[in-house]
Amino acid sequence: GGSLGLILGLISGLSRWGERLLDTSIQMLRNVPHLALIPLVILWFGIDESAKIFLVALGTLFPIYINTWHGIRNIDRGLGEMARSYGLSGIPLFIHVILPGALPSIMVGVRFALGLMWLTLIVAETISANSGIGYLAMNAREFLQTD
């Protein structure tokens, strides 16, 4: 989910046609709470590890996408102009100017995604799991063993 969010964020952040092609659909899907999709995910994947992986991937996709797009779009224009005046373009421009400028925002997205990942994993494990933190929390609640 995170790598897909990074790739989609790079595509929509680096090119206008990528933004026109992807951003509206992704923003529309982002507004649906991924935990509200649990009944559909159970229908699609069953009660298995693949359902948990899908939910976690879906939860981590959007924060990384948004922050990657934001980081690329908000790089100081003066840095880009300076790099172009020194002859940088294409991949060297991306490696030496765009990526270092966008990296702080991308890391904020990773930080948000890690928090959502844990939340999603624990909620997904409470739904008929036989191991994990969510399973242990549900067992402790059922047997009144809160220690």
Provide the pLDDT confidence category of residue 147 given band limits of 50, 70 and 90. low
User: Thinking of the domain 2-142, which architecture would CATH place it in?
Assistant: Orthogonal Bundle (1.10)
Provide the pLDDT confidence category of residue 128 given band limits of 50, 70 and 90. low
What residue spans define the domains of the chain? 2-142
Q: String of b and e for 105-123 (b: at least 16 CB within 10 Å)?
A: bbebbbebbeebbeebbbb
Q: What pLDDT digit, counting tens, does each position of 76-120 carry? A: 888 888 888 888 888 888 888 888 999 999 999 999 999 999 998
pTM as predicted: 0.81
CA distances from 90 to 39, 43, 94 (A): 45, 45, 6
